[in-house]
Amino acid sequence: MTWEIIFVFALLLFAIVSFILEKIPADLTSLTVFGVLIFVGMLTKSAELPSLEATLAVFGNSAPITIAGMFIVSAALERTGAIDLITAYLRKLVRIPYRGFIFIMVIGVAGVSAFVNNTPVVIVLMPVMLSLSREMGVASSKLLIPLSYASIFGGTCTLLGTSTNLLASGILRDAGHDPIGMFELSAVGLPILACGSIYLVLFGNKLLPHRETLTSILSDEERKEFITEAFVEPDSELHGQVAAETRLMRVRGVRLLEIVRHGIAVPGNPAEQKLQYGDRLVLSCRPSGIAEAHSNKGIRLPKELSEGLQTIATDEGAIVEGVVAPHASIVGKTLGEINFRQRFRMVVVAVHRKGTNQRERLSSLHLQEGDTLLMMGSTSAIDMLANSDDIIILDRPRVPARSVRSRMPLAIGTAVGIVTLATMNLVPIVAAVALGVAFIMLTGCIRPKDAYESVEWSILVIIFGMLALGQAMDSTGASQLIAGTMVGLIESFAPEHLQAVIMLGVVYFITSVFTEFLSNNAAVALMVPIALGIAATLGVDPRPFVVASCIAASASFATPIGYQTNTYVYGVGGYKFLDFTRVGLPLNIICFTVTVFVVPVFWSF
């Protein structure tokens, strides 16, 4: 074993541990691996480690470009309302029994997810599922995990279904083999969809938990809050006092949301500001708190305002839930840093993350994608927030503007055109996607600024870093060493005619474990080169092993962190970590069994 192989194994171990511990973001881990490979390769000028030019050659892989383009196409379909077509379809089914609804919903969502990026499909349909759960009289936790799983099923059926399929196809092509066809994976994806649907229909209602949403942590009294404004009277004793130290703020059921001075909201935490004559205080009052606030000297509630002053209406406040959107500008920042109160005119009451509700030290909590926020504000503030790209309000589906919705046929036609061109092999898929992206931008289906923001750049960074690591494993012989060791172990106990099938199961299992704790793209980038080495050692066609890696990387059900759609419903549905394991682990076993039995039938070794 050379020092180069030891170095690559050390780098691989660092990447795996860093991905699991999440002390630094996954994309930063991947970027670090990429940088170290370049630096060590240049420093040592080893013949086995890739040169600078060879490492940079990973940017010539067409798969990441195709993936970026499909992010944009998916965003255009979302913004023009194309994905909302399934909403009207599902609303017609609320009167049928739960099992019938689940079956039709899974098939419908999987059909859309086979051609559209999974994340926007789930993001758009989450508010719909919450609304339908109330109409059906079932807990939302009975619908959200099936929604996420359905989108994953769809991703296993086509080349465009998920970025991992495109990545595996690109690696396969770069190794000198034919790329994966548009519907080639359907031979195993459709049986998985069928078996998964039957499993959810028969056992889902029993296995899925009955979890209440974030609003359930509020008492009935807390739910009845009113937004009002009070006026600091001339000669008021409140003048010069810090708001938090006044008698008003010690009244139970009264919360200061904002101070408006000379028509402008005072920046910073309102509780820490000194009050002045004429200040207008935006208050949240529970019914029990309004009477006590009324008795405070030095302020007047709206109905008591003197003649000649502008009347300030008291408006009933609303408690709403919202989820932090992908690519949101507020990710990684605290509520205080983004001045949440003034920016959105809303107050965060609680945050739900990874199965727990948090109501303490919210101002210092760094927001993450998928965090569910319990917010309180006026109806006008909620209406404004509904159009934000940072937070997705969960009690109302987003409605595209008419000018954009009219371009829905163009967006759908573009997606159909990409699929047609790629299926008929008229042009490479990267060319079809590039042409489609240009068309939807030129026709106004999506603005260039929004298109670039829709690309999940962190995923592309992970892909490039792991491609570079995979290339280093291949050039140093590390992949061949792993492959040879695995084959040697199998040959030591398995008869020759079963070795390839057993190895297929091993490749699937390892990829599945990687996916649950790393990321699906990292798992494919690391495992496909090893799968190619295994096939070369066994002297068989590598295609069955690559297909198994594709399916295993997508079929992530047992944890809420293995797949992004699981992460989103995790917070919204009020799930616990083990809820996914209880429901998803049997589904992982089903997918494993289907793959091991079906793949050898359609892809011979």
Q: Domains in the chain, please, with CATH? A: 67-212+403-454 (no CATH), 226-316 (3.30.70.1450)
Q: Are strands 299-300 and 254-261 parallel, antiparallel or unpaired?
A: unpaired
**CA nearest to 327, candidates 575, 59, 119:** 119
Reply yes or no on whether the pLDDT at 312 is more than 50.
Answer: no
Return the pLDDT at 223. Answer: 47
Q: How far is CA 161 from CA 153, 167, 462, 562, in A?
A: 9, 12, 19, 17
**Average pLDDT for residues 587-598, to the nearest whole number?**
95
Q: Which pLDDT tens digit goes with each residue over 149-161?
A: 999 999 999 998 8
What average pLDDT does this structure show over 121-140? Answer: 84
Q: How confident is the model at residue 348 (pLDDT cuts 50, 70, 90)?
A: confident
Q: Please name every residue paired with 319 in a beta bridge, in sequence order, or none if there are none.
A: 376
Owner of token pair 């009477």: 291
Predicted confidence (pLDDT) per residue in 366-422, tens digit: 888 878 887 777 777 777 787 777 888 876 655 555 557 788 899 999 999 999 998
347-353 and 356-358 beta bridge pairing: antiparallel
The pLDDT of residue 294 is 52
pLDDT band, residue 542 (cuts 50/70/90): very high
- E strand or H helix at 29: helix 26-44
Q: Is the pLDDT of residue 322 over 60?
A: yes
Q: Is the pLDDT of residue 198 over 90?
A: yes
The pLDDT of residue 212: 62
Count of Cβ atoms closer than 10 Å to residue 45 Cβ: 10
pLDDT in tens, 209-235: 886 655 554 554 444 455 666 788 877
Nearest to 451 by CA among 442, 459, 462: 442
Asked if the model's pLDDT at residue 303 lies above 50, the reply is no
Mean pLDDT for the chain? 82
Name which residue leads in pLDDT, 115 or 257.
Answer: 115
**Percentage of the chain with pLDDT > 70?**
87
Q: Determine the pLDDT at residue 361.
A: 65
Instruction: List the one residue out of 284, 279, 311 whose CA is nearest residue 227.
Output: 284
**Of 105 and 61, which is predicted with more confidence?**
105
Amino acid at 449: K
Phi, psi of 78 (to 5 degrees): -70, -45
Q: pLDDT tens digits for 513-527?
A: 888 877 788 889 889
8 A C-beta contact, residue 129 and residue 573: no
